[in-house]
Amino acid sequence: MDQSPEVLCAGIIVADHVCTPITHLPAAGELVMADGMLLTIGGCAANAAVDLAKMGVRASVVGRVGKDIFGRVVSDLLRETGVDTTFVHTSPTADTSQTLIVNVAGQDRRFIHTFGANAEFSAADIVVGTLPRVLYLGGYLVMPNLKQEELAPLFADARAKGVKTVLDVVVPRPGEYVGQLDKLLPHVDVFLPNNHEGELITGKSSPLEQAEFFRRLGAGTVVITMGGEGALLVQDGLRLKAGVFAVPYVDGSGGGDAFDAGFIYGLLQGKGPEDCLRLASALGASCVRAVGTTPGVFTKAECEEFLARNDLFLERV
């Protein structure tokens, strides 16, 4: 790229194999036909970078792939969308991370995953010397070599240089996660877990209680996404509940990453929390209209046209 990235998207990179919705899961030995199957980009860092590029933002992705065919495909697809891959490192020993996503009509997605090169990703891979305007880390808590003791000074230094820090997580199962967040969240400007992740971390079922918990740990703004129930934003002196935009639902893969990208776009534009939620909700909604994590996501022109024609329910709580 000719210019420094506006957003550095660090974290998980995945090759996704995803099918169009099928009628039912096959029984042993049964063949079920899908209308189509897609090999495409996946993973928080890659998805967010592609979505931001579609919104006209200079984005760079930081992560790891293998030297296999899937690593080459993912890297090529990222470059084709305009994403800078300078900081995508190739592992000499591990294969590219892959996810098989099975869509069954009327049901939530099913995932089969191999972790691959993402297991080697560490804070040392994140180079902030180019001084982006936003540092985004997606997939924290699921990457075993990513430690908050190394991330906290990295985030603190970025903020000291005027970089906004944005954090999202992937929480695979119940466990003790507060001890992996308490030193990091005080250096996070925006924290974006979903309500299921929030419950696994905090033990609290209420999204508002989850948000207040993360605020007490030090996060500046907390946004709890709640799927079809919308999102809840909590920051100093403000609690906002957002609804959702009604769109045809095809595949939920990547919806949360698109929401993150929309929120980051709002930050780059100097928008307030209401408009950041509108942009985030619009990109998140656009994502679920198509199979795969990024094909359905709005371009900047499409997003602006959509928001001009559609209102998002917002209320203070």
Q: Which residues are catalytic?
A: 257
Which of 255, 125, 126, 266 shows the shortest CA–CA distance to 189? 266
Q: How many CA atoms lie within 13 A of 92 on its CB side?
A: 0
Write the DSSP assignment of 174-223 as a string of letters: S---GGGTTTTGGG-SEE--BHHHHHHHHS---HHHHHHHHHHHT-SEEE
Q: Between the CA of residue 248 and those of 13, 34, 100, 185, 285, what are the distances in Å?
A: 27, 19, 23, 35, 9
Provide the token pair at 37.
């199957």
Contacts of 169 (CB under 8 A, 6+ apart): 139, 140, 141, 142, 193, 197, 201
Provide the token pair at 26.
């096959």
Yes or no: say if 162 and 132 are a contact pair by the CB < 8 Å rule. Answer: no
Task: Please state whether beta strands 37-42 and 14-19 pair in parallel, antiparallel, or not at all (unpaired).
Answer: antiparallel
